[in-house]
Structure 1
Amino acid sequence: MTALLDPDFCYRVARSRDARFDGQFVLAVTSTGIYCRPSCPAMTPKRANVRFYPTPATAQGAGFRACLRCLPDAAPGSPDWNLRADLVGRAMRLVGDGVIERDGVTGLAERLGYSARHLHRQLIAELGVGPLALARARRAQIARTLIETTTLPFAEVAFAAGFNSIRQFNDTIREVFAATPSALRAKRRSTGSQVASGGGPGTITLRLAYREPFDAAALWAFLGARAVPHVEEVEGDTYRRTLRLPHGVGTVALTPAAGHVRADLTLADLRDLGTAVQRCRRLLDLDADPMAVDAALGADPVLGPLVADHPGLRVPGAVDGAEIAVRAVLGQQVSVAAARTIAGRLAEAYGEPALLDGHDGPAGARVFPSVDALAELTPAALPMPTSRATTLIALCTALADGDLVLDAGTDPEDAMAALQELPGIGPWTAGYIALRATGAPDVFLSGDLGVRRAAAHLGLPDSPRGLDEWANRWRPWRSYAVLHLWRSESDALSS
């Protein structure tokens, strides 16, 4: 039990089986040795037999195993980690992205700018477990997913999940789930819930959980309006795109359904599964707490009607922060459609083909150009004014050299400050990049034309300074306020 959790409140949540709190904490039962999500349908245990922990890794570290009925590791992630820009919050986001599997604890600490010892001490103080335990829980979750949703041999499952050996894989599965890998697969197969591996090796279908409400239509409309040719497309209610991942390329098709988003992932390397899932979750803002956001903004007399029209509106994130930064510069002083066209031309000219299993991805798809490739270009080679081309190359050079990093561990305030040091990047561009690339919930784009136009229609100040002052009442959810203002403009134009 950590000081951040109120045990009496958590127990009331568990008794009510409130699914809104799934992923925000787990409850562990001392009499059974099992930990569950708050909404687990099993009988609520006696208060004296319950302990509460902020993460599955913390419960595992205390000797509890995961419930195979409610699958607490499959719940939406805690919104706290996206809200926080401190060391622990940034570390949790990077652990979810798989940094420890790729770079080790030392690499994670270096990325955060601290020593490994200090990082370990901070995580222990707040979560009760260190970075290795967090990474172990992540590997166990990925392994269970592969065991239950594919027919891959267990040796391949172990490798894809990040385990160093089959023995380590077997031991971890037994400790976390109190079952062997074979038993997990047999149980899932007997319930009929195992999904075939799509269209071939490396293709997996998963369910990405979210908290209700979820305005999928508004989110898909936003993504569709900005879909880059050759990289993204929206067809019906399915959004597809290519992915640049640490070990190779991939494609994903995301389709909203009741209580989850169906994700059909095709990966060149299955080691990228956990990273791909986490980045898709960030793209769709699936770990948000929409009830908390809507309650705060819905109480505002101006935003209240907008929230009522679009409950569960999400802030579109990114699968690649560098890509969003490039696209933001392309969008300077041009329309959304024009920026989309220019980005598509760059993707066609400089993006790599999405080769998977020796075949092109859907419709000859391409991966968005890397910053390394774009940094080598000259302004004359880019289809835009020289000043904007110079800005784009300077941005890509900073990203390629590592002087600027835009990933899950980036502090949004630091990102905005660093971006505005580059030539040609002002507050709007820096703010838009921070809003989408870092998933920051409290970025307000007072200089955005669409935001100012919507504000004027609602009778709010339309000058950047006046609107900035007004928007302080919407903290800490100003990013969501921006989306509601954009959405109101779109609704007004379509009516």
Structure 2
Amino acid sequence: MDAADNAAPLLSRTPSAQLPHGKAPEPFLRPLMALGTVARLTNPSLWDAITTAILRQVVRAAQARKVYRRWCAEHGRSVDTPAGPMAVPPDPRTVLRLPDEAFADAGAKFHRTALQAAATAYQHNHERWAAMSPDELVKALDEVPRIGPWTASAAAADYTGDFSVYPHGDLAVRTWARAASPTVILPDDERGFEARWRRWAPDRPQLHALTLFTLTWGTHARTQHNGGTAPRHP
């Protein structure tokens, strides 16, 4: 994939004090504050972050996770980790050599052209992209055909750990925001929701915290619903 395959991921910590107290309604913030400090491992591989975001296009999160695992298992390679062997996505060169049916067999037929375009662009730009700020990275990725602003923002947030650039009108954010505090009325449409979100968190650290805590709350809720005990952060 890239040199980050063997790099240790950075651990970022975001305290609940960074949430937009005094701007967002306290009933909404209360369940988020109960999380305390959110610790998240930043994705050390930009190519993995791009691949993950592309495979999340159009499909639901649960289906995207299945496709990602199958894509890695069938066409990627195994990497030894402290938790045991783990399959990682095929590198850009491998992606560009795969026949069309390989994408379909892995459940990624819809994503084929986006993965191929991203692989081509990554080979030419990955060193420059890796040195960019989160905002610059979003803009650069958005220029790749078939990537689009949602995918660019999701990949940049995953790689940089800065969730102020995450697509804040995303269905996952809207779903978990409503679930965390059902009594707080939020706009139904994506643009209206994002505008409200930014009014609640007008500065970058608060926007990062509000988004990260909401997604983390949802991950905890999903884990508990599935009978798990160990939370997994977004």
Alignment TM class, shorter chain as reference: 0.7 to 0.9
Counterparts of 1:139-178 in structure 2, within 5 Å, are none
2 CA distance for matches of 1:392 and 1:304? 38
1:245 is aligned to 2:3: yes
The aligned residue for residue 66 of structure 2 is 341
The aligned residue for residue 176 of structure 2 is 454
1 CA distance for matches of 2:219 and 2:52? 21
Change (3 A) 1:369 1:492: closer
The aligned residue for residue 312 of structure 1 is 37
Kept in 2, the 8 Å contact 1:406–1:438? The answer is no
2 CA distance for matches of 1:366 and 1:315? 21
Q: Which has the higher helix share?
A: 2
2 CA distance for matches of 1:426 and 1:315? 25
Q: Which of 112, 115, 130 is the equivalent residue of 1:389?
A: 112
The aligned residue for residue 422 of structure 1 is 144
- The Cα shift of 1:367 comes to 4.2
- The Cα shift of 1:305 comes to 0.4
1 CA distance for matches of 2:163 and 2:175? 22
Kindly provide the CA deviation profile for residues 122-170 of structure 1, in whole angstroms up to 9, marking residues without a partner as x: xxxxxxxxxxxxxxxxxxxxxxxxxxxxxxxxxxxxxxxxxxxxxxxxx
2 CA distance for matches of 1:419 and 1:354? 26
Instruction: Decide which structure has the larger Cα Rg and report it.
Output: 1
- The Cα shift of 1:328 comes to 1.0
2 CA distance for matches of 1:450 and 1:362? 28
The aligned residue for residue 301 of structure 1 is 25
Kept in 1, the 8 Å contact 2:135–2:165? The answer is no
Q: What one-letter code is carried by the residue in structure 2 that aligns with 1:476?
A: R
Counterparts of 1:354-373 in structure 2, within 5 Å, are 354=79, 364-373=85-94
Q: Which of 468, 478, 481 is the equivalent residue of 2:210?
A: 481
The aligned residue for residue 133 of structure 2 is 411
- The Cα shift of 1:405 comes to 4.6
For the aligned residues, what is the CA RMSD? 3.1
1 CA distance for matches of 2:133 and 2:55? 23
- The Cα shift of 1:298 comes to 4.1
1 CA distance for matches of 2:214 and 2:69? 27
Change (3 A) 1:355 1:484: closer
Q: Which of 470, 475, 487 is the equivalent residue of 2:196?
A: 470
1 CA distance for matches of 2:190 and 2:30? 23
Kept in 2, the 8 Å contact 1:353–1:366? The answer is yes
- The Cα shift of 1:332 comes to 1.4
Partner SS state of residue 459, structure 1: coil
Partner SS state of residue 122, structure 2: helix
Q: What one-letter code is carried by the residue in structure 1 that aligns with 2:175?
A: R
Kept in 1, the 8 Å contact 2:118–2:144? The answer is yes
The aligned residue for residue 399 of structure 1 is 122
Q: What one-letter code is carried by the residue in structure 1 that aligns with 2:148?
A: G
Q: What one-letter code is carried by the residue in structure 2 that aligns with 1:437?
A: Y
1 CA distance for matches of 2:29 and 2:76? 43
Kindly provide the CA deviation profile for residues 254-290 of structure 1, in whole angstroms up to 9, marking residues without a partner as x: xxxxxxxxxxxxxxxxxxxxxx34xx22xx31xx4x3
Q: Which moved more, 1:368-377 or 1:293-302?
A: 293-302
Q: Which moved more, 1:453-462 or 1:391-400?
A: 453-462
Q: What one-letter code is carried by the residue in structure 2 that aligns with 1:470?
A: R
Change (3 A) 1:244 1:388: closer
Q: What one-letter code is carried by the residue in structure 2 that aligns with 1:377?
A: L
Q: What one-letter code is carried by the residue in structure 2 that aligns with 1:415?
A: L
2 CA distance for matches of 1:461 and 1:297? 19
Partner SS state of residue 432, structure 1: helix
The runs of at least 4 consecutive aligned structure 1 residues that moved more than 6 Å come to none
Change (3 A) 1:297 1:480: same
1 CA distance for matches of 2:210 and 2:116? 32
- The Cα shift of 1:466 comes to 1.6
Structure number with the bigger relative contact order (C-alpha 8 A, sep ≥ 6) is 2
Q: Which structure 2 segments of 5+ residues have no match?
A: 226-234
2 CA distance for matches of 1:398 and 1:422? 7
Q: What one-letter code is carried by the residue in structure 1 that aligns with 2:140?
A: A
Kindly provide the CA deviation profile for residues 194-235 of structure 1, in whole angstroms up to 9, marking residues without a partner as x: xxxxxxxxxxxxxxxxxxxxxxxxxxxxxxxxxxxxxxxxxx
Kept in 2, the 8 Å contact 1:452–1:463? The answer is no
Change (3 A) 1:355 1:296: closer
TM-score (norm 2): 0.75
Q: Which of 311, 325, 330 is the equivalent residue of 2:50?
A: 325
Counterparts of 1:13-412 in structure 2, within 5 Å, are 245=3, 250=6, 276-277=7-8, 280-281=9-10, 284-285=11-12, 288=13, 290-291=14-15, 294-299=17-22, 300-302=24-26, 303-354=28-79, 364-382=85-103, 383-384=106-107, 386-402=109-125, 405-407=128-130, 409-412=131-134
2 CA distance for matches of 1:336 and 1:374? 22
Q: Which structure 1 segments of 5+ residues have no match?
A: 1-242, 251-275
